């Protein structure tokens, strides 16, 4: 069928796409609905579903008759957590940072062109700013995203810059050259900020987290409404944030002295 490089199992690929439909967090989804969304035949989708149910990745909602994610899926999600080590390493530091700054803090990693928040601590102020853990946001308009992009290997970073950068607010950086400069600044300065770029009224600050090899694998960030987070009070938090990032990095086994930052530009 394909011209070149079909080293991919189409059935498995379909199964994966099907699973990913459940990120929508709907209570349950039916056969026909899934077939429509995936562009596949009902019979094939039905076969996929029965196999995935048999394996425990999906289960049936006994009352609606629809399908939803199974418990095995939850287990696997938990396994990802510990494999990242981030949770163990970040927890206490997040708590300390919130205490210091009084604002919500979270840890995010890069997946493609988006940031996924894998850990989070709410602010004492109850104003909810971001989504829960597990949700994703575009990388180019968040402080975490800028940190992660800034420390990616050069080829990936340039590849990212060739893609269109969606404009979410009037302040979103959409020019590749402008973003490239911004990332250079971030790299030199050691932290990033984003104000009104993803959503009007929201400001955030982020710093890198390195693994044992010195690679930047995550970012720690704090966010707050611009109302109580103007330029001056915001930047006053930068040193604490950088220190928090380094604290987590040390817990991940990074040694600032011996650590040759293997992939930084």
Partner DNA sequence: TGTGGTGTTCCGCAAATCGGAACGAGGTGG
Partner DNA sequence: CCACCTCGTTCCGATTTGCGGAACACCACA
Burial of 71 (0-12, 13-18, 19+ CB in 10 A): exposed
**Token pair 């009037």 is at which residue?**
170
Alpha-carbon distance values, 262 to 110, 166, 211, 212 (Å): 18, 31, 11, 11
For position 136 contacting its own copies by CB under 8 A, the verdict is: yes
- b/e burial code for range 116-135 (CB count within 10 A of at least 16 → b): bbbbbbebeeeeebbeeeee
Identify whether the C-beta of residue 84 lies closer than 8 Å to the C-beta of residue 46: no
Q: Which is nearer to DNA, 10 or 262 (CB)?
A: 10
For position 262 contacting DNA by CB under 7 A, the verdict is: no
Write the DSSP assignment of 88-124 as a string of letters: HHHHHHHHHHHHHH-SEEEEEEEETTEEEEEEEE--S
Site stretch for its own copies (CB under 8 A), options 63-71, 142-150, 162-170, 223-231: 63-71
Phi-psi region at 6: left, alpha or beta (left = phi > 0; alpha = psi -120 to 50) = beta
Instruction: Give the residue, chosen from 4, 27, 124, 227, that forms a contact with its own copies under the rule CB under 8 A.
Output: 27
Burial of 85 (0-12, 13-18, 19+ CB in 10 A): middle
Q: Which is nearer to DNA, 42 or 228 (CB)?
A: 42
Residues 59-78 binding DNA (CB under 7 A) are 65-66
In whole angstroms, how close is the CB of 88 to its own copies at the nearest point?
A: 10
In whole angstroms, how close is the CB of 181 to its own copies at the nearest point?
A: 28
Site stretch for its own copies (CB under 8 A), options 133-141, 200-208, 224-232, 246-254: 133-141
Instruction: Give the residue, chosen from 33, 38, 40, 81, that forms a contact with its own copies under the rule CB under 8 A.
Output: 81
- What is the size of the binding site for DNA (CB under 7 A)? 22
* Other Cβ atoms within 10 Å of 243 Cβ, number: 14
Q: Which is nearer to DNA, 131 or 262 (CB)?
A: 262
Burial of 32 (0-12, 13-18, 19+ CB in 10 A): exposed
In whole angstroms, how close is the CB of 109 to DNA at the nearest point?
A: 22
In whole angstroms, how close is the CB of 255 to DNA at the nearest point?
A: 22
For position 154 contacting its own copies by CB under 8 A, the verdict is: no
- List interacting residues with its own copies (CB under 8 A): 7-9, 11-13, 15-17, 19-20, 22-23, 25, 27, 47-48, 50-52, 54-57, 62-63, 68-83, 109, 111-112, 116, 118, 132-136, 213, 215
- List interacting residues with DNA (CB under 7 A): 1, 7, 9-12, 14, 30-33, 40-44, 46-49, 65-66
């Amino acid at each position: 069928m394909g011209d070149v490089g079909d080293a991919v199992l189409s059935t498995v690929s379909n199964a994966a796409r099907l699973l990913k439909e459940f990120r929508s967090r709907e209570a349950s989804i039916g056969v026909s609905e899934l077939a429509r969304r995936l562009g596949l035949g009902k019979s094939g989708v039905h076969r996929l579903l029965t196999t995935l149910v048999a394996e425990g990745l999906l289960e049936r909602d006994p009352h609606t008759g629809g399908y939803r994610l199974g418990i095995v899926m939850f287990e696997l999600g938990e396994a990802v957590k510990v494999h990242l080590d981030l949770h163990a390493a970040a927890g206490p530091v997040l708590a300390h940072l919130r205490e210091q700054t009084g604002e919500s803090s979270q840890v995010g990693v890069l997946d493609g062109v988006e940031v996924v928040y894998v850990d989070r601590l709410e602010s004492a102020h109850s104003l909810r700013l971001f989504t829960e853990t597990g949700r994703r946001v575009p990388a180019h308009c968040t402080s975490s995203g800028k940190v992660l992009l800034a420390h990616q290997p050069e080829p990936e970073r340039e590849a990212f810059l060739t893609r269109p950068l969606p404009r979410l607010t009037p302040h979103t950086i959409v020019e590749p050259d402008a973003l490239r400069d911004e990332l250079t600044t971030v790299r030199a300065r050691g932290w990033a900020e984003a104000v009104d770029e993803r959503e009007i009224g929201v400001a955030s600050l982020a710093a890198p987290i390195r693994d044992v090899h010195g690679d930047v694998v995550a970012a720690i960030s704090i966010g707050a409404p611009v109302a109580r987070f103007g330029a001056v009070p915001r930047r006053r938090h930068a040193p604490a944030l950088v220190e928090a990032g380094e604290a987590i990095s040390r817990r991940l086994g990074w040694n600032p002295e011996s650590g040759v930052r293997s992939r930084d530009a």
